[in-house]
Structure 1
């Protein structure tokens, strides 16, 4: 009969066996709209809190050969785009010699391309949509709606600009001017980031920063990406003996409890907003 001691010692790697472990390419999926307020039910959003654990695990492997970012995003919140990109660079700095490679799937646009630029190399499929280096915001105007239904809205502020762009008041030219100035400043930061990360690879000057998107082949021509291909074929060619492991973000609480259908009206509005973000690119 096998003793407990024998069972335990049989599971301890023998000298030399440790060297048989495979090299690793760690994959992190960055899929969805970039927003600071993710749904408690779905994974279809990106922010630092949601992806931090996956990024940390990806960079934590002992025999790490590369980290691959699998990106499929129409963009979203600029701050979260910057925070996630900065975290990727912080972790990469602790692993010198380990390249970070981004792979664009259907869409790496706006904040999605901001994330791609955190990588040392960027690949796209020939049908991928890449770019949209610009800034956009939107909303609705409900001027007259409350009066129509006999509703009185009471809004009290301290500070003359506290109620800028209130959707229930007529739009003021000075408020639009303020918003456009903010957009311009954010656009400059976006352009600076792309130029910092892509450097002399960019080929088309100011035309790159008009908010347009391009298919993969054109993005390669413009220097927005380094090559065409998908994750499996590129990794298989460059790291043929490596094992691909996927570092998944933690599931939201309600998803872990098995609750799959949004119950709150706010969840429905979030879903509509996210659908609109994808629809801008025909997806």
Structure 2
């Protein structure tokens, strides 16, 4: 009997004269490394790339919610916050709740994207956390010395050549870098506390840069529970909820070339050779994902 009434209710709401409309939830796909990393072919998630997508997602008047499908290992802290702040601004203006769903990874800047949600849900196997800041590089001064290369640098400003990879490390440079990293880390911690509030557990490792699977992240209050986007939306808004995915504009040259067919047909013949810059960027993105075993 219950099943019959549920089905009858769904059919009735779909009829044009019923006076009721289906719930509408738009979904924004936030997948990939965050930030631009150089030339035109080296694009990740950025506010510039997502502006029109965000506008389209929040545009409908009959919105029940906006959902974020987050799958990112992080990247630029600036772009992470710009995107998060833009989502919150739209949500406040339209008075629409935002629900974030982490897929494989919501770590570092990827977790900042998830913080745009009023509620955050994950899969049991999702990787969440990495609330920290990292800076990496290489030192080549011994290598160039061995091959007889002399490094010549001229600056106006004593700190202009800080952390030059072709010169030995300067302890003062390291101290300056540590101040910057600490400042960024404090900003990250403050954002997590602001968005998660009393939900956060008292855990000494919370802001250590550690990562957790879904259930452990829920125990620490970093997320609200275990759920998958489609199932959760149908449970909350009804089986007849309309879920509309909003496409992100653009796409890398490498992806279009590898896709072939119609996507590649419009490209200039000179682009038939893969851009070395794009291949390097692909390697950088691969390294970020590899940190989480993906």
Tell me the TM-score normalised to structure 2 length: 0.84
Alpha-carbon separation, structure 2, partners of 1:138 and 1:180:
12
Q: 8 Å contact 1:39–1:270 — kept in the other structure? A: no
Alpha-carbon separation, structure 2, partners of 1:262 and 1:155:
35
Any residues of structure 2 matched to 1:181-200 within 5 Å, and which?
A: 181-200=179-198
Q: Which residue of 2 aligns with 1:225?
A: 223
Q: 8 Å contact 2:214–2:226 — kept in the other structure? A: yes
Q: Which residue of 1 aligns with 2:6?
A: none
**Helix, strand or coil at the partner of 2:94:** coil
1:34 Cα deviation after fit: 0.8
**Helix, strand or coil at the partner of 1:206:** coil
Alpha-carbon separation, structure 1, partners of 2:32 and 2:38:
10
RMSD: 2.2
1:24–1:214 Cα change, 3 Å: same
Whether 1:31 aligns to 2:42 is: no
1:113–1:253 Cα change, 3 Å: closer
Q: Which residue of 2 aligns with 1:273?
A: 284
Q: 8 Å contact 1:22–1:243 — kept in the other structure? A: yes
Alpha-carbon separation, structure 1, partners of 2:181 and 2:202:
22
Alpha-carbon separation, structure 1, partners of 2:41 and 2:273:
7
Alpha-carbon separation, structure 1, partners of 2:160 and 2:38:
26
Alpha-carbon separation, structure 1, partners of 2:54 and 2:203:
33
1:263 Cα deviation after fit: 2.2
Q: Which residue of 1 aligns with 2:46?
A: 47
Deviations 1:89-145, CA, capped at 9 Å, x for gaps: 11001121x210000101000010011111100000000011111001111111132
1:194 Cα deviation after fit: 0.3
1:33–1:235 Cα change, 3 Å: same
1:207 Cα deviation after fit: 2.0
Gaps of 5+ in 2: 1-15, 257-261
**Helix, strand or coil at the partner of 1:54:** helix
Q: 8 Å contact 1:41–1:262 — kept in the other structure? A: no
1:53–1:176 Cα change, 3 Å: same
